[in-house]
Amino acid sequence: MAVTMKQMSLLVSTFGILSFIFGVIAENKKPASGTPIAGKDVVICKYPSDPSVVLGYLSTVFLVASVVVGYISQFYPYRGKSVPQAVLFRSTMFLVFFNIALFSGGLALTMLLWPTITEQLHLARNVHHNLETTCPTAKTGLFGGGAFLSLDSALFWLVSLMLADNAREDYFDEIEQDRKGVDGQVMSMSSAYSYGTA
């Protein structure tokens, strides 16, 4: 079953939007801090129900899916016609947006994984020997920032895909013109030959 460019762009945008939604919800559900409970020479941190770790991992998974599909969509042979990668990278605009999409996707991945892993460690290691601990949680704002970068990354992949489509059409137009030019030369040579022999 052949995949169309419209289907690829729909997948990229859907995964990007889901990553954004889960990241924003993770930011909103993350508790500001836990409650310290004093024990003998230790402090046990009691945290409220915290779905931000699961939401953070979901946001990360959808971001990775968006980036992978976005990357594949640039070079996929639509309608069975493949284009050499060098042809796409000749376009300066494509090169710029392709690199921005990769960079923003990597930055979003970092900003989503960092608070997710940090939050998971805080929840797992909740016994502290420092009696003055304030039971911290992951840094505020990272989930939200990662969520917005996920959405930006998906948008940059879509712009890059449009530019790749333009470069692809130009490439096939050049091939068609070259083929017509060769056919025209062959026709004129054969007609000249037949005229000379007549």
* Below-50 pLDDT ranges, the chain: 186, 189, 192
Q: Measuring CA to CA, which residue among 101, 22, 95 is closest to residue 54?
A: 22
Contact 150, 23 (CB under 8 A): yes
First to last CA, the chain: 54
130: left (phi over 0), alpha (psi -120 to 50) or beta: beta
**Residue 196: predicted pLDDT:** 52
The strand pairing partners of 44, in sequence order, are 37, 127
**Residue 117: predicted pLDDT:** 94
pTM: 0.83
Contact 88, 94 (CB under 8 A): yes
